[in-house]
Amino acid sequence: MELNWHSEFAKSWLDRSEQGRLPHAVLLTGPVGVGKRAAAAWISEQRLQPNPMHALPVYPFDVIEHPDIRWITTPEDKRTIGIDQIRAMVAEINLTSYKGHGKVAVIESASEMTVNAANSLLKTLEEPPGDTLLVLVADRAGKLPATIFSRCQRIDIKVPAELAALQWLDRLQPGAAWTDALRMSGGAPLAAVVALDDLEVSTSMGRDFKVLGQGKGSAVEVAARWAKLDTGFVLNWLAQQIKLAVLANSAGRETAAGLAIDDSVLRRMDRRNLFCYLDIINRLRGQPGGSYNVQLTIEGLLIDWASGLKDCGLTPPNDGMELMLARRTRERAK
């Protein structure tokens, strides 16, 4: 299926191609689930295929089989893109094009490159060899060094309007609970496709989060349940909930679409502390797996939530034990 919310991006790209004004390096940014990888695959096809098959990026997408494309991803057994991968890519694109249409190198997610890997890419971004196009896909653009930003043209893929997204999703699978899945995903249609399978889990988490936000229930018991889930899913869900809470709080509303908590909980939270809490969650999202104790960290986050974020600090725990011990020490001192 064509990603129809990519129409403006695709038209702009094709117009610039006809005018010979395409950049040598692009950075595709936007929320998870808006189709950045599909856009990268489409760009590759437009560049390397004399007669491209697709007028727009499509879902699901396939990387074209072509000797002049190099697609770099995070290895299955690692959480970062390393310097050796970038060096091998650079060596490859310095070779002569097999088909005579130039070369394309895609890095996704570029925000997962190590510092050394990013540094090793800088010279190539500044002076790409021959007729080479570099495409960087970033789910978290804020993690990229400024030196990468300055050498790429940024293209931001935005979420479509809710009605348009729901219409597209209903064509994909008619009758599914897309409204809830889309709101849970922050409006990103492809994230909603994944979220549809997690609706029951998300609903249960929402009930837990609301009860804890009212100062009731046991954060330790809830953390024990949540720790059995995928850590990335839990942290992404928390981040989305806090973003919605900030939105509702800033607008003076009692709630926002997709927000699990109600006004009685929202009134307990200071907006500055919500931002602080979101910052902690986002930094935890950026830490590699295994660098902290998952259950104890979730306990610490939920204990702070249950307390109304009164003790929210600006430094996320390197290990959940750090936060837990600090919290329990304060409790004993009361």
Would you say residue 138 has pLDDT above 90?
A: yes
pLDDT score, position 79:
82
Report the pLDDT averaged over residues 166-194: 92
Output the pLDDT for position 289: 67
Q: Which residues of 56-80 are buried (b: 16+ CB within 10 A; e: fewer)?
A: bbbeebeebebebbbbbebeeeeeb
What are the tens digits of pLDDT across the range 42-94?
A: 999 999 988 888 999 999 999 999 999 999 999 988 888 999 999 999 999 99
At residue 262, the pLDDT reads: 79
Q: What's the whole-number average pLDDT of the chain?
A: 88
Q: 143: pLDDT confidence band, cut at 50, 70 and 90?
A: confident
CA–CA distance, 26 with 43 (Å, rounded to integer): 10
Q: What is the pLDDT of residue 254?
A: 61
Q: Do residues 243 and 326 make contact, with C-beta atoms less than 8 angstroms apart?
A: no
What CA–CA distance (Å, rounded) separates 306 from 251?
23
Would you place residue 318 in the very low, low, confident or very high pLDDT band (cuts 50, 70, 90)? very low
Position 328 scores a pLDDT of 46
- Residue-range domains of the chain with CATH: 4-156 (3.40.50.300), 163-333 (no CATH)
Nearest 5°: CA angle at 199, between 162 and 183? 20
CA distance 312 to 310: 6
Counting residues of the chain whose pLDDT is more than 70, the rounded percentage is 91
Measured CA to CA, the distance from residue 180 to residue 255 in angstroms comes to 15
Is the entire prediction scored with pTM above 0.85? no
Q: What is the structure's pLDDT at 319?
A: 46
pLDDT at 255 over 70: no
Q: What is the pLDDT of residues 181-221, one digit of tens each?
A: 998 888 999 999 988 988 889 889 999 999 999 989 999 99
pLDDT at 334: 45
Distance between CA 75 and CA 53 in Å, rounded? 29
pLDDT of residue 258: 76
Query: What is the rounded distance in angstroms from the CA atom of residue 155 to the CA atom of residue 28?
Result: 5
CA separation for the pair 203, 206 (Å, rounded): 5
Instruction: Check residue 48 and give its pLDDT.
Output: 93
| Share of the chain residues as helix, strand and coil, in percent rounded to the nearest 5 | 55, 10, 35
Least confident of 129-133, 170-174, 311-315, 329-333: 329-333
Q: In this model, does residue 127 exceed pLDDT 60?
A: yes
Do residues 133 and 161 make contact, with C-beta atoms less than 8 angstroms apart? Answer: no
pLDDT given at position 35: 97
Structure tokens at 243: 């973003």
